[in-house]
Copies of this chain bind each other. A is one copy, B any other.
Amino acid sequence: MQNNIDISKFIKDFESNCSKVQIKDFEKGETITTFLVNRNQFCILISGNADLVRYDYNGNRIVTEKFSENSIFGEIFYQINTNSEFVVEARSKCKVLLFSYDDINEKCKSHCSFHQKLLTSFPQLIISKITDLTSRIELLSRRSTRDKLLGYFNLLSIQYGKTFTLPFSITELANYLAVDRSSMSRELSILKKEKFIKQDRNRITLLY
């Protein structure tokens, strides 16, 4: 979630001068893109918030990833799967940079300053994404809800100390940890009862 560079600032006052790269605006609720075919599509979220939503065979709506400023996403990162449908939905007004990964490689050999900047920003954006993904995998591979919660709180406490505000709501936290919301709520209550944590909405204090 932490990004050290700020590509968005760079782009905000910058109009793409290259036909291969698009900057598009989306209103809340709009579909930014879907993952259906292999187009090597690569996107950077310049501003706003968006969810990657999977609709499974039962029609269940499952939030698979959450994107914010500087997040990267796109078909290129996904194995396309006929059994479920992936949609990136804007949760607020969004500004998005879209391009094909093939194009970026070609174009970067030219001296377009826009691409130049994009290319130098790439590695950090990508490494940051991998860090996020590995953290999440580490959490998701824990067997119990309690371990998931404590593991996640521990990560946050490294950054913010014993008291911190969750970066999302309780409902979204349950999604992030891939557990049932009400069950997680139950487990939170137990953690409170056992004096492991204090909780006020999405503000958490660790008591250990």
Digitize A94-134: 1 where CB-to-B-CB distance is under 8 Å, 0 elsewhere.
00000001000100000000000000001100110111011
Digitize A77-90: 1 where CB-to-B-CB distance is under 8 Å, 0 elsewhere.
11111110000000
Digitize A135-177: 1 where CB-to-B-CB distance is under 8 Å, 0 elsewhere.
1111011110000000100110010000000000000000000
Verify B137–A137 contact, CB threshold 8 A.
yes
Kindly identify which residue among B62, B105, B130, B178 contacts A126, using a CB–CB cutoff of 8 Å: B130
Complex alpha-carbon distance, A10 and B148, angstroms: 41
Hey, which chain B residues are within 8 Å of A79, CB to CB? 131, 135, 155, 158
Complex alpha-carbon distance, A178 and B139, angstroms: 10
Verify B77–A143 contact, CB threshold 8 A.
no
Interface residues on A, range: 35 or more
Verify A140–B140 contact, CB threshold 8 A.
yes
Hey, which chain B residues are within 8 Å of A54, CB to CB? 138
Asked whether A180 is an interface residue with its Cβ less than 8 Å from the other chain, the reply is yes
Nearest to A119 among chain B residues (CB) is B123
Verify A137–B138 contact, CB threshold 8 A.
no
Complex alpha-carbon distance, A180 and B54, angstroms: 25
Nearest to A135 among chain B residues (CB) is B79
Kindly identify which residue among B62, B83, B137 contacts A64, using a CB–CB cutoff of 8 Å: B137
Asked whether A76 is an interface residue with its Cβ less than 8 Å from the other chain, the reply is yes
Complex alpha-carbon distance, A54 and B138, angstroms: 9
Verify B133–A76 contact, CB threshold 8 A.
no
Hey, which chain B residues are within 8 Å of A126, CB to CB? 126, 130
Min CB distance A34 to B, Å, is 15
Hey, which chain B residues are within 8 Å of A81, CB to CB? 138, 151, 154-155, 158
Tell me the A54-76 residues at the B interface (CB within 8 Å).
54, 62, 64-65, 76
Verify B76–A134 contact, CB threshold 8 A.
no
Verify A178–B140 contact, CB threshold 8 A.
yes
